[in-house]
């Protein structure tokens, strides 16, 4: 009997503990707290790759996402976060290696928050990215393209023509110039970067030296580097005035290493030159000729404008988009989210009328400048929010033959009513986010469009980011 009572009391205690634990977990969920972590490393077998480039395993009947792991590998992992439906971990040791695993090309891999796929062979990276886009389209959009194009690719290193470097100052007054760690505000100081345009990479060391020389003031917060077709430039962001001697050293540095220098207060506003005067500079890049009678285009942009960071891939992308749209004289074309005219201006060389719509007024100004400089009078640029009625009034109804849209990562959900109103016969969608492409592709299918062609573009080698291009054709019964 005594044993029975002890068992009974123990069971009662367990039930109370269970209820208390459930109540605590409920309170944690209500407060948005994570489930407790298992701090002990353990081994896991990786089944496949996630859409963001992490290995996926099963552990204790939950999905486990493992950074740094590849399919078919057995890895020792340590959990980094726990959630109700999945857990996250990082690979500590590779017990059984994938044949597609390679040595990263960058010495900062694993610390820097960029280039998270350097451990995967470049050919396998492209295959994984294409699979991720097709999977998302099928799973969330219910769509499969009739044709899959060969991926557009560029050189895997030295391709990036723009980078924003963070500056962090240690308590001892030492500057850290580099990129932030994954999921952290901590800056990883770098002296090189394998994916940067060599003209930009060679500026890292001298800029580091300059930061050390001005450390007593600690004014700089970021340095944005840009390489165009002719030069390299740096925008120095600072939250307190640069001293006269600091500026003199920087001026000499720019002469020695042949790069342009502009300044901007961290609070924003116009760019300043080294003498403190407001300036409105232009950089430029070339787009190739599309035919024997075409001499190409020069696109001018402000150093802070959005541009594609991989110039070689961008030229391929524009050429492919023009081929898919197959614009003829007499066509009226709309370019949504047009920026400075990267696609708008090539289309204007072919169509009788092109309208480019962009929410940011400053980039619309640049688009108009570019059209005038190229002598193109078949195009107009308009500043408008595509989710508001003004854009509908600008474009009219049902009189657009073709359309191109290149939305941000959030996609083009807000522009779907406008697309339905204009009802172009063909539409090219440039995407930098497979999930929003899948969502918007489903909306287009509901409007009567067929997904004819899809192709990925490896704009960012060694990262899990993927761009894609899709051609939609309106079904004849919907004309």
3-class DSSP string for 22-72: HHHHHHHHHCCCCCCCCCCCEEEECCEECCCCCEEEEECCEEEEEECCCCC
Distance CA 306, CA 297 (A): 18
Backbone angles phi, psi at 410, to 5 degrees: -70, -10
**Angstrom distances, CA of residue 206 to CA of 71, 203, 272:** 41, 6, 21
Whose CA is closest to 313, among 477, 171, 457, 137? 457
The tokens for 370 are 């570019």
Distance CA 363, CA 271 (A): 15
* Cβ-contact 74, 66 below 8 angstroms: no
Catalytic status, residue 338: no
Cβ-Cβ contacts under 8 Å for 295 (sequence gap 6 or more):
289
Q: Which of 106, 115, 193, 432 is catalytic?
A: 432
Distance CA 411, CA 430 (A): 10
Whose CA is closest to 179, among 191, 168, 171, 188? 188
Distance CA 436, CA 384 (A): 22
Distance CA 149, CA 134 (A): 12
Whose CA is closest to 452, among 438, 472, 468? 472
Distance CA 100, CA 123 (A): 9
* Cβ-contact 159, 313 below 8 angstroms: yes
Distance CA 442, CA 434 (A): 12
The set of catalytic residues is 432
């Amino acid at each position: 009997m005594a044993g029975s009572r002890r068992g009974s009391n123990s069971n009662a205690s367990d039930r109370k503990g269970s209820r208390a634990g459930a109540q605590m977990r409920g309170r944690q969920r209500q407060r948005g707290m994570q489930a407790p972590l298992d701090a002990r490393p353990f081994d896991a077998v990786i089944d496949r790759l996630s859409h963001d480039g992490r290995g996926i395993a099963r552990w204790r009947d939950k999905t486990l996402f493992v950074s740094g792991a590849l399919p078919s590998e057995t890895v020792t992992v340590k959990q980094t976060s726990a959630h109700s439906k999945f857990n996250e971990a990082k690979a500590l040791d590779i017990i059984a290696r994938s044949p597609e695993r390679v040595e990263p090309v960058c010495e900062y891999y694993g610390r820097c928050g960029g280039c998270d796929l350097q451990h995967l062979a470049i050919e396998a990276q492209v295959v994984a990215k294409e699979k991720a886009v097709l999977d998302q389209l099928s799973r969330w959009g219910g769509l499969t393209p009739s044709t899959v194009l060969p991926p557009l690719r560029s050189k895997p290193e030295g391709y990036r023509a723009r980078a924003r470097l963070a500056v962090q100052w240690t308590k001892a007054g030492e500057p850290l110039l580099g990129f932030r760690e994954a999921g952290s505000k901590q800056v990883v100081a770098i002296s090189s970067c394998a994916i940067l345009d060599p003209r930009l990479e060679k500026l890292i060391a001298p800029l580091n030296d300059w930061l050390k020389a001005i450390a007593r003031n600690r004014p700089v917060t970021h340095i944005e580097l840009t390489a165009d077709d002719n030069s390299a430039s740096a925008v120095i962001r600072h939250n307190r005035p640069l001293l006269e001697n600091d500026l003199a050293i920087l001026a000499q540095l720019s002469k020695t290493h042949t790069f342009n220098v502009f300044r901007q207060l961290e609070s924003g506003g116009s760019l300043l030159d080294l003498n403190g005067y407001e300036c409105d500079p232009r950089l430029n890049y070339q787009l190739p000729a599309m035919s024997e009678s075409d001499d190409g285009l020069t696109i001018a942009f402000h150093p802070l404008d959005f541009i594609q960071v991989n110039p070689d891939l961008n030229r391929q992308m524009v050429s492919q988009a023009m081929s898919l749209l197959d614009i003829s004289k007499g066509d009226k074309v709309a370019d949504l989210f047009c920026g400075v005219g990267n696609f708008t201006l090539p289309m204007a060389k072919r169509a009788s009328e092109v309208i480019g719509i962009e929410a940011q007024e400053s980039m619309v100004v640049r688009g108009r400048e570019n059209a005038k400089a190229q002598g193109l009078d078949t195009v107009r640029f308009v500043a408008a929010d595509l989710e508001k009625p003004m854009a509908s009034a600008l474009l009219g109804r049902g009189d657009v033959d073709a359309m191109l849209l290149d939305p941000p990562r959030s996609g083009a959900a807000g522009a779907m009513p406008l697309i339905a109103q204009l009802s172009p016969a063909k539409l090219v969608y440039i995407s930098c986010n497979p999930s929003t492409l899948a969502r918007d592709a489903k909306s287009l299918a509901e409007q009567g469009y067929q997904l004819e062609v899809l192709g990925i573009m490896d704009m960012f080698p060694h990262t899990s980011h993927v761009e894609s291009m899709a051609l939609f054709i309106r079904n004849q019964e919907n004309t």
